């Protein structure tokens, strides 16, 4: 029994060593050891791969990418919902040291243009379209002149599917051009270090532009491994992953947690559908299920929920936003997820820094985000002085260790703002720690809004809305929402002599910013509540909206 803490600082266990291989080296060894076991099931595509089959296809794609003339360190984007091609890209790029750039499928023209140019993508793999999103059309609209570094665009097709798309090549043709026995793969792999950048994920920026968090093999491979350890994953486990792969939740907490334990990755669909999740868990006899609270709520409340046998479930992760306590109890009792864990982190820390384990008592699981992960340190400091605060006192949560990102791509200044001289990542989250080291997130220093697991910085939306010709000033805040946790609200001061409408503002947003960034509530006001020094009081905007709309804060874990 360890002595109770008096200060809010804790270190993770170190009895299990860190993995010091590249993702490619680790995957090679796992495929050799677990070749006959099922590695990947894509229900919506009707595809199944053993570890040996997946390894062969990954090498075929790696060969094809080298055949394009791409070299170690070059960036290649993936703009897609969940599918087998995403997984092939994740592991093939890692095999030959290409940097995979995750593009949010909700991005629209201005956002994808910024992201691809910011990191200098030479190639892009994309869905042609998905529901109302016409990815091919958006890229054609942008044209090569606005994407000067982009040399190759591949669209994800099914063999024999449809017409060709002008200016794009088929992904199936790219795969066909590769050779799994290509000797160049191993030559390049031998030159890689596990500290090389391998992945860029964009986080919404307070400056109005997303920042490219750059992660290494060592960052995400180890995080995936220790996440799987918390869940007690084994090769017998089958993890249902309805969360998106472009986000760390799908790519690290899902794919890498499975692959580091020889477990099976199961995708119920390309996008989230609660009925397909329930059907998949039953049909594939899944033992694990991931989701943000809104996903679990949608599954539990589905009218056909009682029809499905979910008795194979035991573990999984709920993360992305705070979980209502009653929902957690229902997940444990009605979905058989007695060993579900809670994870907390941020993209910049690969992402998880705190997690509950399968043995964490339920009351700790619903009231905290668990304890510090192995080989990491967390501390809670006074936001002004930087001093570590006593247990039970709130302050800013900071984390240090192997998981801290390489940096923001092409932005040394922002990197220095986030990571201090001693290597601590400052999260901007307010937290407390108890005497056993359990961490509870109590708020945010920054005014970030979390809508259904998506992190949104109001400043980015404000910067965009300022571009509307009839907007003089704008303030964006989050307000409580029973379904998504929070929704966006914009208060707008119109330019003199103009009378913009809510529909005008929404039409301006459409196709330019992701749907979840479009404010649900829009109010036109003569001014903002301010302090005597002229500082805008966002909390007063939030309180006024809560009162006028009759909104109440959800009680959350």
Say yes or no: 93 and 187 in one domain: yes
Say yes or no: 301 and 174 in one domain: yes
pTM of the predicted structure, to 2 decimals: 0.86
Residue where a domain terminates, one of 401, 429, 457:
429
Do 288 and 281 touch, CB atoms closer than 8 A? Answer: no
Confidence of residue 208 (pLDDT cuts 50, 70, 90): low
Say yes or no: 321 and 402 in one domain: yes
Say yes or no: 221 and 112 in one domain: yes
How many folded domains does the chain comprise?
2
Say yes or no: 137 and 88 in one domain: yes
CATH of the domain at 37: 3.40.50.12780
Nearest of 28, 173, 23 to residue 100 by alpha carbon: 23
The Cα–Cα gap between 501 and 534 comes to 27
Say yes or no: 421 and 326 in one domain: yes
Say yes or no: 380 and 524 in one domain: no
Say yes or no: 323 and 454 in one domain: no
Within a domain: 187:
yes
Q: What is the CA radius of gyration of the chain?
A: 23
Within a domain: 301:
yes
Within a domain: 497:
yes
Say yes or no: 297 and 155 in one domain: yes
Task: Give the SS3 label for residue 244.
Answer: coil
Q: Which two tokens stand for residue 405?
A: 């990102």
Within a domain: 264:
yes
pLDDT tens digit string along 90-103? Answer: 999 999 999 999 99
Residue where a domain terminates, one of 429, 461, 487:
429
pLDDT tens digit string along 228-272? Answer: 999 999 999 999 999 999 999 999 999 999 999 999 999 999 999
The Cα–Cα gap between 468 and 506 comes to 11
Residue where a domain terminates, one of 364, 394, 429:
429
Confidence at residue 117, expressed as pLDDT on a 0 to 100 scale: 98
pLDDT tens digit string along 395-413? Answer: 999 999 999 999 999 999 9
Q: Which two tokens stand for residue 404?
A: 């801290």
Identify the H or E element spanning 110: helix 109-119
The Cα–Cα gap between 354 and 352 comes to 6
Report whether pLDDT(16) > 70: yes
Residues 6+ apart with CB under 8 A from 415: 407, 408
Task: Give the SS3 label for residue 57.
Answer: helix
Say yes or no: 422 and 467 in one domain: no
CATH of the domain at 484: 3.30.300.30
Confidence at residue 1, expressed as pLDDT on a 0 to 100 scale: 57
Structural domain that includes position 211: 9-429
Report whether pLDDT(108) > 70: yes
Say yes or no: 86 and 167 in one domain: yes
Within a domain: 130:
yes
Do 61 and 178 touch, CB atoms closer than 8 A? Answer: yes
Within a domain: 281:
yes
Please, what is the end-to-end C-alpha distance for the chain in angstroms?
26
Confidence of residue 204 (pLDDT cuts 50, 70, 90): low
pLDDT tens digit string along 291-330? Answer: 988 899 899 999 999 999 999 999 999 987 667 777 888 9
**Length, in residues, of the chain:** 557
Task: Give the SS3 label for residue 509.
Answer: helix
**Cis ω before 205 (30° cut-off from 0):** no
Query: What sign results for the dihedral spanned by CA atoms 27, 32, 37, 38?
Result: positive
- Please identify which residue in the block is written with the tokens 């932005």: 411
Confidence of residue 551 (pLDDT cuts 50, 70, 90): confident
Say yes or no: 508 and 425 in one domain: no
Within a domain: 395:
yes
Within a domain: 409:
yes
């Amino acid at each position: 029994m360890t002595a109770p803490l008096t200060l809010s600082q804790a270190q993770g266990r170190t009895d299990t060593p860190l993995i010091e291989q590249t993702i490619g080296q680790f995957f090679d060894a796992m495929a050799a050891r677990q070749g006959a076991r099922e590695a990947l099931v894509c229900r919506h595509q009707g595809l199944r791969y053993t570890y040996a089959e997946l390894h062969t296809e990954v090498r075929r794609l790696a060969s094809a990418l080298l055949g394009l003339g791409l070299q170690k360190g070059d960036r290649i984007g993936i703009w897609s919902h969940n599918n087998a091609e995403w997984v092939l890209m994740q592991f093939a790029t890692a095999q030959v040291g290409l940097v995979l750039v995750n593009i949010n499928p909700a991005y629209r023209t201005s956002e994808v243009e910024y992201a691809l140019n910011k990191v200098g993508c030479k190639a892009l793999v994309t869905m042609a379209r998905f529901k109302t999103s016409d990815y091919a059309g958006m890229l054609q609209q942008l044209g090569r002149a606005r994407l000067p570094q982009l040399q190759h665009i591949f669209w994800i097709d099914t063999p024999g599917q449809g017409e060709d798309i002008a200016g794009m090549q088929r992904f199936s043709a790219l795969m066909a051009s590769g050779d799994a026995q290509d000797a160049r793969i191993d030559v390049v792999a031998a030159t890689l270090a596990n500290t090389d950048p391998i992945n860029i994920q964009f986080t919404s920026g307070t400056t109005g532009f997303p920042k490219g968090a750059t992660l290494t093999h060592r960052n995400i491979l180890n995080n995936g491994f220790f996440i799987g350890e918390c869940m007690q994953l084994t090769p017998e486990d089958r993890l249902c992953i309805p969360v998106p792969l472009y986000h760390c939740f799908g790519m690290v907490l899902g794919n890498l947690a499975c692959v580091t334990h020889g477990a099976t990755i199961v995708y119920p669909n390309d996008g989230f559908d609660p009925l397909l999740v329930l059907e998949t868990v039953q049909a594939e006899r899944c033992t694990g299920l991931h989701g943000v609270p809104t996903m679990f709520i949608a599954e539990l409340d589905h009218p056909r929920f009682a029809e499905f046998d979910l008795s194979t479930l035991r573990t999984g992760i709920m993360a992305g936003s705070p979980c209502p306590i009653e929902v957690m109890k229902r997940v444990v009792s009605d979905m058989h997820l007695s060993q579900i864990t809670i994870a907390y982190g941020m993209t910049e820390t690969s992402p998880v820094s705190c997690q509950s384990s399968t043995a964490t008592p339920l009351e700790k699981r619903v009231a905290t985000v668990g304890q510090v992960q192995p080989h990491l340190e967390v501390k809670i400091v006074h936001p002004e002085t930087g001093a570590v605060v006593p247990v039970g006192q709130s302050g800013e949560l900071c984390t240090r260790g192997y998981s801290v990102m390489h940096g923001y791509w092409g932005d040394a200044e922002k990197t220095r703002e986030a990571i201090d001289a001693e290597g601590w990542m400052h999260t901007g989250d307010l937290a407390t720690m108890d005497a056993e080291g359990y961490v509870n997130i109590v708020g945010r220093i920054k005014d970030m809004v979390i809508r259904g697991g998506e992190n949104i910085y109001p400043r980015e939306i404000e910067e965009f809305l300022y571009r509307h010709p009839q907007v003089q000033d704008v303030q964006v805040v989050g307000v409580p929402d029973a379904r998504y946790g929070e929704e966006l609200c914009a208060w707008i001061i119109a330019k003199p002599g103009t009378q913009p409408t809510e529909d005008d503002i929404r039409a301006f947003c459409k196709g330019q910013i992701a749907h979840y960034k479009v404010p649900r509530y829009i109010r036109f006001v003569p001014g903002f509540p301010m302090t005597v020094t002229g500082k805008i009081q966002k909390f007063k905007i939030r309180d006024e909206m809560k009162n006028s709309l009759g909104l109440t804060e959800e009680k959350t874990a």
